[in-house]
Amino acid sequence: MNIHIPTPLRAYTGGAETVSVPGATVTEVFNNLTSQYPDLKQQLFNTEGKLRSFVNVYFNDEDLRYLPEKEATAVAATDELTIIPSIAGGTDAVSPCCSCCPSL
Protein backbone atom coordinates (compact mmCIF):
# COMPACT_ATOMS: atom_id res chain seq x y z
CA MET A 1 0.00 0.00 0.00
CA ASN A 2 1.04 3.60 -0.44
CA ILE A 3 2.08 5.71 2.53
CA HIS A 4 2.17 9.48 2.16
CA ILE A 5 5.04 11.08 4.02
CA PRO A 6 4.82 14.68 5.34
CA THR A 7 7.48 17.20 4.37
CA PRO A 8 9.55 17.03 7.60
CA LEU A 9 9.90 13.24 7.45
CA ARG A 10 10.99 12.98 3.83
CA ALA A 11 14.58 13.42 4.96
CA TYR A 12 14.24 9.83 6.20
CA THR A 13 12.69 8.41 3.03
CA GLY A 14 15.26 9.70 0.59
CA GLY A 15 12.99 12.62 -0.26
CA ALA A 16 10.10 10.40 -1.33
CA GLU A 17 6.62 11.84 -0.79
CA THR A 18 4.97 8.48 -1.29
CA VAL A 19 6.45 5.09 -0.46
CA SER A 20 4.96 1.70 -1.24
CA VAL A 21 5.16 -0.85 1.56
CA PRO A 22 3.65 -4.36 1.77
CA GLY A 23 1.66 -5.70 4.70
CA ALA A 24 -1.67 -7.27 5.67
CA THR A 25 -2.38 -4.96 8.62
CA VAL A 26 -1.40 -1.42 9.60
CA THR A 27 1.04 -2.86 12.14
CA GLU A 28 2.72 -4.99 9.48
CA VAL A 29 2.92 -2.03 7.15
CA PHE A 30 4.51 0.12 9.85
CA ASN A 31 6.99 -2.66 10.71
CA ASN A 32 7.97 -2.93 7.06
CA LEU A 33 8.14 0.84 6.71
CA THR A 34 10.54 1.23 9.62
CA SER A 35 12.59 -1.74 8.41
CA GLN A 36 12.94 -0.08 5.04
CA TYR A 37 13.58 3.36 6.55
CA PRO A 38 15.01 2.72 10.06
CA ASP A 39 15.48 6.40 10.95
CA LEU A 40 11.73 6.92 10.70
CA LYS A 41 11.13 4.75 13.75
CA GLN A 42 12.15 7.24 16.42
CA GLN A 43 10.33 10.00 14.56
CA LEU A 44 7.05 8.10 14.61
CA PHE A 45 7.18 6.07 17.80
CA ASN A 46 8.13 6.77 21.41
CA THR A 47 10.40 4.54 23.48
CA GLU A 48 7.39 2.38 24.40
CA GLY A 49 6.69 1.71 20.76
CA LYS A 50 3.52 3.84 20.70
CA LEU A 51 2.83 6.43 18.05
CA ARG A 52 3.99 9.83 19.31
CA SER A 53 1.10 11.96 20.51
CA PHE A 54 1.53 14.57 17.79
CA VAL A 55 1.73 12.03 14.96
CA ASN A 56 -1.62 11.48 13.28
CA VAL A 57 -2.14 8.53 10.98
CA TYR A 58 -5.03 8.39 8.56
CA PHE A 59 -6.19 5.16 6.95
CA ASN A 60 -7.68 6.56 3.76
CA ASP A 61 -9.79 9.35 5.34
CA GLU A 62 -10.22 7.73 8.75
CA ASP A 63 -8.21 8.54 11.86
CA LEU A 64 -6.45 5.32 12.86
CA ARG A 65 -7.11 6.02 16.55
CA TYR A 66 -10.85 5.80 16.00
CA LEU A 67 -10.93 2.66 13.91
CA PRO A 68 -12.35 -0.32 15.84
CA GLU A 69 -9.25 -2.44 15.31
CA LYS A 70 -6.76 0.43 15.26
CA GLU A 71 -3.29 -0.84 14.22
CA ALA A 72 -4.71 -4.34 13.68
CA THR A 73 -6.90 -3.01 10.86
CA ALA A 74 -6.56 -5.11 7.72
CA VAL A 75 -5.30 -3.25 4.68
CA ALA A 76 -5.49 -3.78 0.92
CA ALA A 77 -2.99 -2.72 -1.69
CA THR A 78 -5.35 0.01 -2.86
CA ASP A 79 -5.68 1.57 0.61
CA GLU A 80 -3.55 4.52 1.62
CA LEU A 81 -1.97 5.66 4.85
CA THR A 82 -1.18 9.32 5.46
CA ILE A 83 1.17 10.40 8.22
CA ILE A 84 0.44 13.96 9.32
CA PRO A 85 1.99 15.70 12.34
CA SER A 86 -0.34 18.01 14.22
CA ILE A 87 -0.29 21.77 13.80
CA ALA A 88 -1.44 24.04 16.60
CA GLY A 89 -0.35 26.95 18.76
CA GLY A 90 -1.44 30.26 20.16
CA THR A 91 -0.44 33.41 21.96
CA ASP A 92 -0.65 32.26 25.59
CA ALA A 93 -2.70 35.38 26.29
CA VAL A 94 -4.86 34.61 29.31
CA SER A 95 -7.71 37.07 29.19
CA PRO A 96 -10.83 36.33 27.15
CA CYS A 97 -11.57 38.62 24.21
CA CYS A 98 -15.33 38.20 24.29
CA SER A 99 -18.11 36.23 25.90
CA CYS A 100 -17.59 33.31 23.52
CA CYS A 101 -13.95 32.86 24.61
CA PRO A 102 -13.59 31.54 28.14
CA SER A 103 -10.45 32.42 30.05
CA LEU A 104 -7.91 29.60 30.34
Partner 1 sequence: MLHIDYANYEALRAHGEETYPHECCGVLLGKSDAEGNHVRQIVRAGNTRTDSAHNRYNIAPIELVKIQRQARGLGLDIVGFYHSHPDHPAQWSPTDFAEAHWFGCSYVITAVEKGKAAITNSFLLTGTSEEDKKFRDQPIEIAVAEQAQQ
If one asks whether residue 76 binds partner 1 (CB under 8 A), the answer comes out as: no
Cα→Cα distances 76→12, 18, 33, 104, Å: 25, 16, 16, 45
Indicate whether 70 belongs to the interface with partner 1 (CB under 8 A). no
Query: 59, exposed or middle or buried, with CB in 10 Å at 0-12, 13-18, 19+?
Result: buried
Q: Is 48 in the site for partner 1 (CB under 8 A)?
A: no
Q: Applying CB under 8 A, does 72 fall inside the site for partner 1?
A: no
Neighbours of 61 (CB within 10 A): 7
**Cα dist. 36→20, 69, 93 in Å?**
10, 25, 44
Is the Cβ of residue 62 or residue 69 nearer to partner 1 in the bound state? 62
CA-angle at 24, arms to 20 and 1, nearest 5°: 20
In the shown chain, the binding pattern of residues 3 to 42 toward partner 1, with x for contact by CB under 8 A and - for none, equals -x-xxx--x-----xx-----------------------x
Q: How far is the CB of 94 from partner 1 (least distance, A)?
A: 8
Which residues of this protein are in contact with partner 1, per CB under 8 A? 4, 6-8, 11, 17-18, 42-43, 54-56, 58, 61, 63, 82, 84-94, 96-98, 100-102, 104
